[in-house]
């Protein structure tokens, strides 16, 4: 899917609208992550994915063919630049929130796995002084049924 623009001005205005909408989605998702409510993101995840793909596609088109924005008037050029800078800032905030959520999630999973591993260690009656055998990380599938 691509933007359908007849000239550089239309393309720039469509890009501004796309960038603004995607930035709004990121602000909303960042707020959900910071409130520790990632489940609230699910509702609009498909829209965010579609907007992100369109933004990535259009950015690559313009990068490979800068003539798509050739002849753009200074006001539209400035508005596009400002929208892009604001989007980049929002994207950075989103990245920080996602990385924080990822770190917390990985910590929880690691703690659960470590606890399960410590409960599963077996003593070896034939080892030196009956020491436990550390078998390393185990599956979280405690019941061993898939």
Tell whether the model's pLDDT for residue 134 goes beyond 70: no
Phi and psi at residue 35, to the nearest 5°: -85, 5
Report pLDDT digits (tens) over 21-59.
999 999 999 999 999 888 899 999 999 999 999 999 999
**Eight-state DSSP code of residue 69:** G
Collapse the DSSP code of 52 into the 3-class scheme (helix H, G, I; strand E, B; otherwise coil) and give the result: helix
The structural domains of the chain, with segments of one domain joined by +, span: 8-120
Provide the whole-model pTM: 0.74
CATH 1.20.58 fits 8-120, yes or no: yes
- Positive/negative CA dihedral, 34, 57, 21, 66: positive
């Amino acid at each position: 899917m691509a933007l359908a623009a007849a000239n550089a001005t239309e393309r720039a205005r469509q890009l501004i609208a796309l960038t603004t909408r995607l930035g709004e989605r990121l602000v909303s998702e960042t707020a959900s992550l910071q409130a520790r409510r990632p489940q609230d993101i699910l509702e609009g995840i498909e829209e965010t994915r579609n907007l992100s793909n369109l933004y990535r596609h259009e950015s690559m088109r313009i990068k490979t063919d800068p003539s798509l924005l050739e002849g753009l008037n200074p006001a539209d050029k400035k508005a596009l630049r400002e929208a892009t800078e604001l989007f980049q800032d929002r994207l950075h905030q989103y990245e920080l929130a996602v990385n924080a959520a990822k770190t917390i999630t990985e910590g929880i999973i690691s703690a659960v796995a470590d606890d399960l591993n410590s409960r599963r260690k077996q003593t070896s009656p034939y080892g030196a002084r009956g020491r436990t055998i550390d078998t390393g990380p185990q599956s979280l599938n405690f019941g061993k049924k898939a």
